[in-house]
Each structure stands twice: as structure tokens, then as C-alpha cells.
Structure 1
Amino acid sequence: FGTPNAWIIACLVFLIGVTIRHYFNSIHARKGRPNWTWAVTVILFIAIAWLSSAPGFDGDVEQAEAVPLTRYEMRFAQAEGFEQAHEIVQGRCAMCHARAPAWDGLRWAPKGVLLETRADVARNARAIYLQAGVSHAMPPANITDIPQEDRALLTAWYRAGQ
């Protein structure tokens, strides 16, 4: 459910159920063993695994910056403390949460959360607040060493935009 491809994945899971059910219905009706259904099931499963970790199709940074802000994004972009919050996110989060992450081993942004542009930061204000401000879950093991003062600034910015 955490991917833009969730609806496709749900459809493929349904089809896996169909192929497995067809196999067992054929056996119980004594109409042979349609072993081809297992190959189809494996192919569908591989497609699900790939889609669940595939990146979204968000274009490049220039395209993202050209899109006007929504009312929701504007609310947080105009909130007090946004400039500092944006700077913190750019310095501590954007290397992984980018359209082309700079962190070794990452091919796309974790969970598809992008934090490169002002709109990206404003769009993900609640997630930033919860993950970096309140729970300290991000970054994992505080790998970018976000000081408590920066976390407090992120929290204050989000609350100012509510």
C-alpha cells in the first residue's frame, strides 16, 4: 500500500489467486494437472516484487519545480520557519529522498518520498514532522546526526502550518 503501483499489485495478487484456484479445481475435477499455472503464478509474484520496490514516475527536479504548489503545499511553504526547515531537510534528508539518491545502495527514494524541491518538502510536511520531528525515526540511526534543535525547528514549522 506504500507505493503508487498498489492498485496493480492488488490486481496481480487477485490473478495469483485465480491461477492457484484453477490448478486445484482442475485436479479435483480430474481434468489433469495444469502445471503451467505454477509458472504463471511465479511470474506474477516476481512482477509484484518488482512493482513493490519500483520507483514512481516523477520526472526530474526541473519538471517538479515547474509545477505550481497546491493549496496544501502553499500553506506549509508560507508557514513560519519553512526556510529553516527546507534547509534542514536539504542537508539531512534529500541525499536519500531524491529522484536519483546519492546514498550508496539506494536506487530510488525510500518509500517514494521525495524531498528535493520546496513543493516536495511542503507536500511531505506531516511525514517530516512525524518521522524526524516527533518520533526521531528518520534518518535511521540518526545517520546524518540531526541535532535536537533542528528537530524542534521541524516540529515548530509543521505546527505553524497547521
Structure 2
Amino acid sequence: MDPYINEWLNLVIRFAHLITGIAWVGASFYFVWLDNHLQKPPAIKAEKGIGGDLWAIHGGGFYEVAKYKLAPPVMPTTLHWFKWEAYTTWITGFLLLSLMFYVGAETYLIDKRVADLTQWQAILFGLGSIVVGVGIYEILVRTKLRNHSIILGLILMVVATALSYGLTQIFSARGAYMHMGAIIGTIMAGNVFFGIMPSQRALVKAVEAGTAPDPAYGLNAKVRSTHNTYTTLPIIFIMISNHYPMTFNHSANWLVLMAIVLITAAVRQYFVLRHFGKQKPLILVASVVATIMLAVAIAPRATEITAEQKNQIVTDAEITQVIAQRCGSCHAEHPTDNIFTIAPAGVIFSDIASIKQWAPRIKARVVDAKDMPFMNKTEMTDQERLKLALWLAQLK
């Protein structure tokens, strides 16, 4: 595919995915907040079957919201459904996954240092992992385990950890992370499609038929909605994780991902409890402490330079040659790389002055973290990284 066309498709689909995702997450957060803030209604409302209500003010007006225990006696003329936010987020997400990691499998998904896959093998493994992950979840959530949230949660964490580890053994690090995001996102959209919407249609059908709705429908939708609540922050992290290689480039990246999933889910739990007026600041404090500990634990080790090596002089000309050979195909005014037609992040190495300008970034990404060049596409050697480290030490 022409790189310019690819960039426009990426922009349009990513923008649509972001907008629909905001709409979905916003609606999800609002209804969870709404449900958790309902108060016991006055007698006049309770007699009508209303189970809870609340008053709110927004945009210069007052709102009175009421929720029926099961359903109203008569179906209203206009009933608003919330489903397309979820469906369009999943559709745009899958299109973006396909464009970036399937059409561009040899660039973003396949890492020959991890597994020597063909494009079609990588695609089949990717799609297969989504089917397996979602299939396991659907089997578990349809059993009586759905009534035992802690046990089900522990089992799902074990499954997620196994999938995370397995994906990092066959894909590039960022490809593995994105497929875990695809699995979680598909589960969330599946909760809407397989659980929430059928339950809501059953409630509407019962009201229209003049029969009493089965409470089980509402409870089933509630369980799946709750699951979506706790996976929202983890999936948002995964969506932006490709910008932060210090997380996915660690040797235990699968474990790092699971730690972040737990931390972000705990943060969500803090806010859910606040909805009920329960202040549990220790949850938030523990999450912050855990994040700091994780950051320290996965911090890349600075390249050690011996006293003998410090005496070696590395010239600007040598560094210019290394940068031009290993970084110049992407980070140039006119990149020659077949994928990156514009210098990533606007970093351009045009002369020794521009190289010195980006020296801190070179040390962090090329010398210490070693996540650049991208997937070591230009095959930078350890000796060249050491040469960069010696030159950077000379600049101090």
C-alpha cells in the first residue's frame, strides 16, 4: 500500500476510533455513576415501581432521573438505546488493528528476534488469540461463576496472564500488547452484544406484552456492565502504550502489562466506591505506590562504561556516520524508509548540531532502553551503541 494513503487511512480510522471510544467510555462511566448514586425515591414514585431517583444540574438546567425496579407499566413512545458507541468503537478498532498490524505485519507485528513468522501466520495467530480469549470469557461468564465475582476475577486474571505471556512469545512487544487490547475490547463489545442488549430487548418485549419482566435479564446485563467498568482503564492504557516502549520492551513485558491492568482496575474501584460515598484513599495511594515501584523495577540500566573505555575518544564524524547509517533512513528531512515517510516525532538528524540537540533522547532510547532503531530494523550493533554511550559521556 502506498505509504501516503496508509497514513491517511491511519489518521481517519484512528480519529474515528478515538471519538467513538470517548462516547462509549463516557456513556459507560456516566451510567455507572448514575446507577450508584440513585437514592430511595419518595412514596409517590415508589408506588409507580420506581426503585431509585436523583436530581442533577448541568448546562444551566435541572434534571430529574428515575430508574424503575424492572420496567415501566407502559413502554414510552421514544426509548433511547446505547449500543452503537460500543459497536463503532470495536469496528474502528478492528480496522485500525488490521491496517497497522495485519497489512503492516512485517513492520509492526512480526519480530524475527522473537518468532520467524510469515505475514499470514502472524495474522492467523492474531485472530486466533482474539477468538480464544473471547471464547474462554464467554464460556466462564455463562456459568454460575458469574455470581461469584472474586473467583471469576481471579480465573480471568490467570487466563489473561497466560495469554499475555503467550502473545509476547510470538509477536513483537507492541503487537502483543495491542492484541491483548483487542481481546479485552472484543470482550467488552461482546458484553454489549451478547449480554446487555439481549437482556434489554427481553425487558422491552415483556413490557410490550404486558407480562412481568424476568429479573434475571437485568442481573445478567448488570454483571457484564460491571466487567466493562473495570476493564475500561486497562484498555485505555493499552491504546496509548505503543507510545511508551519502556513498558512493552521490558524482558518481562507480559508481567508488566498484568501489573498495569491490576493497578488501573484498582483506580477504577476507588472511584466506583466513591459513588457510594465510601472514601477509600488507601486504594488510590496503593495504586500510586505500585506505579512508582513498577517504574523503578523496569527502569533500563544505564550502560556501564569502564575507566579504560572512558579514555577512548569518539569523534563527531564517527557519530555522524553511525547515526546516518542506523537512524537516517527514518530520522531525516526526506526519509528513505518504506514505512516512515515522515520523521517520527519530528526528530531529524541533519547534522552534528541536531544530533547533540537530541542527545538525551538518544541516550534514553538508543543506548539505555535499546528500543531504537525501531525493532532494530537497521541492525545497530552493541558496539555502535557503546560508541554512542562513550560519545555522550564526552559531552558532559
Q: TM-score, normalised by structure 1?
A: 0.50
* Higher CA-based Rg: 2
Q: Which has the higher helix share?
A: 2
Q: Which has the higher strand share?
A: 2
Greater RCO (Cα-Cα under 8 Å, separation 6 or more): 1
